[in-house]
Structure 1
Amino acid sequence: MKTVLITGANAGIGLATAKAMARRGFNLILLCRNKEKGREALAILKRINPAVTVELFLADLSDIDSVRQVAQQISRAHSKLDVLINNAGYSPNRIEFINNIEKSFYANHIGPFVLTYYLMDLLKAAGEARIINLSSAAYSLGNASRFFKRNGNLSIMAAYGDGKLANILFTKELAKRYTDSGITAYAVHPGVVNTGFGSNFAGALGFMMTLARPFMRTPERGAETSVYLATSPLTSLIRKNGQDGGSGGFFADSRPKSIRHSDITIKQAAELWAKSLAFV
């Protein structure tokens, strides 16, 4: 049996992804921040498919010490990992800083980077492994010049966009570094999903999110592309509809999509990796 680790697997897209992977016979490692909600998700998943194993580990992706610790725990408990889905995301309702770095950037990029780095030996041991990073079309709001810097004028959506842009750059650098090790990496836009994202927004932005909510996708629909990337034959991912869907690609609606942003370059991806190593 193959094993998949899903961050933020206790609710929303993460739980929907975990349910779909359980039905496909994958053993599950759930990485959650909340112990009680994690246990509830574990019980649900065991009922869906009693034949698979489901394990719960706890960590806060904005707390790098807890990420390092949980990666060590997982590495002691497992000899390989077939799929890593960095699903968990953090949407700020106000701008906060941790050591002069905006909190959502910690949770949306630095935490997943550190987790992935420490689990790399398990992924290599699988022979053919996949890393799926949940990004967003909001990457278009990001700006690499703001990464790792304190910015008192940062807006909530700009902060979120920075993390989602970093997810794409991280994915591209993973593809460059590890394809020869049998590891492929993909970034995903799940669509605008009704997961409670933006429920803590205030003012006009909160009002707009409330109006939009009835038209949002279900978490199950939002999970479809991650599940597709985790389970489809590699040959089916390489090209589709004329778009390059190989390792490092950006996917939405289970199809590769072109991305346009002046900061999505080989140089920026390498610089992001180098700066992120300081947190390992």
Structure 2
Amino acid sequence: MQVCIVTGGNSGVGLMTSVGLAKLGYHVFIACRSHSKATKAIAYISQKTGNPNIEYLPLNLASLESVRQCVELFLAKNLPLNILINNAGIFNGHGVTPEGFELIWGTNYLGHFLLTYLLWDKLQESAPSRVVMVSSDLALKPTTIKWDLFVKSTPFNFIELYNQSKLCLLLLTRQLYQQSSHVTVNAVHPGFVQSNITIGHRLSKFFGIGISPKKGCYSSLFCATSPDCELITGKFFDPKGKEIPLPPLALNNQLCQQLWEQSLDWTGGNKPVGTQIINYDGTDEVWGPYSLNLTPEEIATIRQHIFKEVLPKPPIKVLLISALTALFKLQFGSIMLLFVQCYKRQFYMERHLDSPQLLQLCKDENLLAIIRKHLGDNLRLWRSELWVNYPSRQLIPFWHRDIYPKLLSGEGKTINIYIALTEVTARNGFEYIPKTEAENCPRQITDPFSGNHFYKVPNSVKNQVIPVVLQAGEFVLFTDQVIHRSVYNSSGKVRLSLTLRVAQDTVKILPGYSPIYDQPLSLSN
């Protein structure tokens, strides 16, 4: 019995493809978002074919985490995988995926890339096996890969992203075809199908336009099951199973390899993440890890609140008042910070002021007990920063120290607290230079507003850097002597963290830089 996975197998071409596979007696897994729609589809397929071996796999291709969970569920069944049909897709829509990628391209291509990549070993173990990419003739339109569009929200011309996503599936087809002689990989154009992908497709059958989903699945079934395709791989077929010449971009092996490597970076591939355990003993002015006085469930609730309520809803009124105030007082540092927050949308200042959940983190018992060991009892939180490190975008990558000589004055100690609200790894968090190597890093430039220094780090020193690795709910302390930077996020997962700047009450916080407020928050009993 052949074992098959069909993404989007609950409706349209995917449903008819699943029916065709079930008629052959295959074990078919329908991978889609909706459990209720999958249940109806399974009942329909079983009634049409009499095949009892039809199952559901939850899968949201827009979410890389959902893709990983889907693969884990399938692999746990300890079955072979003979046929993978990457059929699901969206034609329109606006926004970004949970990991920050453009929604159409992230769903149609990147989700399928990770799914195929994580199942590739299983496909090879089950060989001879077959992969079918449902592309489109619109993949022939682009003349270049528009990389910058993939890491932004959907533009007004969403069709361009659809075309790019289908072109990327052709490049993936060619790349995979070159990696294995035991797994055939082909792409198909199903034609203009009377499906539910858009309103136009839904209405097309009333106007006699297009073909039925049953006819639209012909080329998918042809590539997946026909003996004639047993040795054919790396090709592109039309709705009737006739070969379509691949566009020059898909025949460019260097471009195929570039997309492959970039996709691995964006998704994290199947490389292990978060397996390191590092203790920071203060030798390099870093201490930890310590744990908050919160359960994993409480951390998850706060994290969900931040993603759903805090990040999408900036305090517009407060920001506007702050901008006008800063402009009136000619506080250029404040204006610059406001610009960075609004432009990057990954850096959020002082959000504990409008979020009881974040304030709960700032006043955590375990957190305050550790800080008091370094600073004593009279503590003031003078600044907080909420950071979101998406795989699709790069946080500020410069090597720097958090000294802030133009923001603080007076005698007294300060400390920085870095709190992990998601898993922090060597591939999505930050790294620092050992104290013994810091003197080998020449100062490159100084921030005129904060006074912080930025450093040029030789390659010999970069080889000595130490990553910060934490579980959600853990934190480290570090002083202003630590040279550090955010790493490029190649984990395929969003990293959310909260950085707190705490000082003794003898330290004066100078006004004119923080974009939200000037008065520090007391953390004393």
Q: Same fold judged by TM-score > 0.5? A: yes
1:269 to 239, 256, 261: 256
CA apart distance, 1:188: 0.5
Partner of 1:177, secondary structure, is: coil
- Give the whole-Å Cα distance in 1 for the aligned partners of 2:242 and 2:140: 19
User: For the structure 1 residues 122 and 29, does the alpha-carbon distance in structure 2 shift closer, same or farther, using more than 3 Å as the test?
Assistant: same
For residues 48-197 of structure 1, what are the structure 2 equivalents within 5 Å? 48-93=48-93, 95-98=94-97, 99-142=99-142, 143-146=144-147, 148-150=150-152, 153=155, 155-179=157-181, 182-197=182-197
The answer on whether the counterparts of 1:28 and 1:54 sit within 8 Å (CA) in structure 2 is yes
- Give the whole-Å Cα distance in 2 for the aligned partners of 1:209 and 1:230: 26
User: For the structure 1 residues 79 and 210, does the alpha-carbon distance in structure 2 shift closer, same or farther, using more than 3 Å as the test?
Assistant: closer
The answer on whether the counterparts of 1:22 and 1:48 sit within 8 Å (CA) in structure 2 is no
Specify the structure having the higher radius of gyration (Cα): 2
- Following TM superposition, the consecutive aligned residue runs of length 4 or more in structure 1 with deviations greater than 2 angstroms are 48-52, 97-101, 140-143, 145-154, 208-214, 259-264
The answer on whether the counterparts of 2:23 and 2:51 sit within 8 Å (CA) in structure 1 is no
Which position in structure 2 is the counterpart of 1:256? 243
Amino acid corresponding to residue 246 of structure 1 in structure 2: I
- Give the whole-Å Cα distance in 2 for the aligned partners of 1:227 and 1:211: 23
The answer on whether the counterparts of 2:3 and 2:79 sit within 8 Å (CA) in structure 1 is no
- Give the whole-Å Cα distance in 2 for the aligned partners of 1:114 and 1:163: 14
Deviations 1:107-145 (A, max 9, x none): 101101111111112211212000000000011233413
Deviations 1:200-244 (A, max 9, x none): xxxxxx6x99679531110000000101111111xx238xxxxxx
Deviations 1:171-194 (A, max 9, x none): 000101122xx1110000000101
Which position in structure 2 is the counterpart of 1:202? none
CA apart distance, 1:196: 2.3
Deviations 1:97-116 (A, max 9, x none): 23552101111011011111
User: For the structure 1 residues 74 and 263, does the alpha-carbon distance in structure 2 shift closer, same or farther, using more than 3 Å as the test?
Assistant: closer
The answer on whether the counterparts of 1:57 and 1:70 sit within 8 Å (CA) in structure 2 is yes
Give the number of equivalent residue pairs. Answer: 262
- Give the whole-Å Cα distance in 1 for the aligned partners of 2:89 and 2:249: 24
The answer on whether the counterparts of 1:100 and 1:149 sit within 8 Å (CA) in structure 2 is yes
Structure 1 length-normalised TM = 0.87
For residues 226-245 of structure 1, what are the structure 2 equivalents within 5 Å? 226-233=220-227, 236-237=228-229
CA apart distance, 1:63: 0.7
Task: Could you tell me which runs of 5 or more consecutive residues in structure 2 were left unpaired when the two chains were aligned.
Answer: 270-525
User: For the structure 1 residues 136 and 257, does the alpha-carbon distance in structure 2 shift closer, same or farther, using more than 3 Å as the test?
Assistant: same
- Give the whole-Å Cα distance in 2 for the aligned partners of 1:30 and 1:152: 28
- Give the whole-Å Cα distance in 2 for the aligned partners of 1:3 and 1:211: 33
Structure 2 length-normalised TM = 0.47
- Give the whole-Å Cα distance in 2 for the aligned partners of 1:228 and 1:132: 10
Higher helix residue share: 1
Q: Tell whether 2:213 aligns with 1:219.
A: yes
Ranked by relative contact order (alpha carbons within 8 Å, sequence separation 6 or more), the top structure is 1
The answer on whether the counterparts of 2:187 and 2:234 sit within 8 Å (CA) in structure 1 is yes
Q: Percent same amino acid among aligned pairs?
A: 27
CA apart distance, 1:269: 0.9
